[in-house]
């Protein structure tokens, strides 16, 4: 029984270790390795909470420990990676943007913890962009940048790779936007209502299959596209809610 109780915490420790390794790789200017460590952290982070629920060993300690690990892996590590690669060349502004990202990640996680302790974790939405998604999109872009800069012989989507130089120059602004999104009121799906093993329609099944095939054929590009799509989903969900409110208002008042 003790082993089962420790299992979620061990998985969380792996998440934190990957974040630490990402930081050491960034210091050594091993950009791709640092980015892949962050991507691996995203997938590991998906496991600890689920394992805790499956083994019925969820605890307040686990929630707090998971947040510390997330802050290391998706707050500090991506900020250090982007700072050393790009933002340090922007002087004080770059340093300020990097710190803002770390600060917003901490605020986002603290706010999530408070809602979890108040019993609101069953909501189908996150309020604010989850830190793993923010760290994931930065890491997935760095992977694309490394492929482009090193001219690696990797199968890629040419239309996307042509945008890498532009996105690289826009990276300070992108980090700033991600920082704001983490503490914003935009809603992002938790995917709790989605069962990947039991898709409820042929359309959902085909989407899952197509996604898997894209990851197999264009892994680096697809990971970036998936993270980008998730980040944009918050805007789209907000616009959809705004449209429904205005439509309802027109129906009531004519």
Kindly give, in sequence order, each residue whose CB lies less than 8 Å from that of residue 40, ignoring residues fewer than 6 positions away: 18
> What per-residue confidence (pLDDT) applies to 1?
44
Mean pLDDT of 128-147: 95
Kindly give, in sequence order, each residue whose CB lies less than 8 Å from that of residue 130, ignoring residues fewer than 6 positions away: 108, 182, 188
What are the chain's domains? Answer: 2-253 (1.20.120)
Mean pLDDT of 48-63: 76
> What per-residue confidence (pLDDT) applies to 251?
64
Q: Nearest CA to 48 among 107, 6, 109?
A: 6
Q: Which residues pair with 127 in a beta bridge?
A: 187
- Distance between CA atoms of 12 and 45, rounded to whole angstroms? 7
Mean pLDDT of 214-225: 87
Residue-averaged pLDDT of the chain: 86
User: Is the model more confident about 53 or about 185?
Assistant: 185
pLDDT in tens, 80-118: 999 999 999 999 999 999 999 999 999 999 988 887 766
> What per-residue confidence (pLDDT) applies to 118?
66
Can you give the pTM of this predicted structure? 0.87
């Amino acid at each position: 029984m003790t082993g089962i109780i420790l299992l979620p915490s061990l998985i969380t420790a792996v998440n934190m270790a990957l974040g630490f390794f990402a930081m050491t790789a960034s210091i050594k200017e091993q950009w791709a390795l640092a980015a892949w460590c962050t991507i691996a952290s995203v997938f590991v982070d998906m496991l600890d909470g689920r394992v805790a629920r499956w083994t019925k060993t969820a605890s307040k300690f686990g929630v707090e420990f998971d947040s510390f690990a997330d802050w290391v892996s998706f707050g500090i590590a991506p900020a250090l990676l982007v700072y050393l690669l790009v933002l340090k060349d922007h002087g004080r502004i770059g340093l300020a943007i990097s710190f803002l990202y770390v600060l917003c990640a901490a605020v986002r996680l603290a706010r999530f913890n408070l809602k979890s302790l108040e019993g609101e974790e069953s909501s189908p939405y996150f309020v604010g962009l989850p830190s793993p998604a923010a760290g994931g999109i930065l890491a997935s872009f760095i992977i694309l940048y490394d492929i482009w800069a090193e001219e690696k012989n990797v199968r890629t989507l040419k239309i996307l790779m042509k945008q890498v130089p532009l996105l690289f120059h826009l990276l300070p602004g992108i980090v700033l936007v991600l920082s704001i999104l983490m503490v914003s009121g935009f809603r992002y799906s938790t995917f709790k209502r989605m069962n990947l093993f039991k898709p409820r329609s042929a359309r959902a099944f085909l989407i899952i299959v197509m996604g898997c095939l894209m990851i197999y054929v264009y892994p680096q590009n697809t990971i970036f596209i998936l993270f980008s799509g998730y980040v944009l989903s918050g805007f789209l969900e907000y616009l959809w809610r705004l449209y429904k409110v205005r439509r309802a208002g027109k129906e009531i008042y004519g």
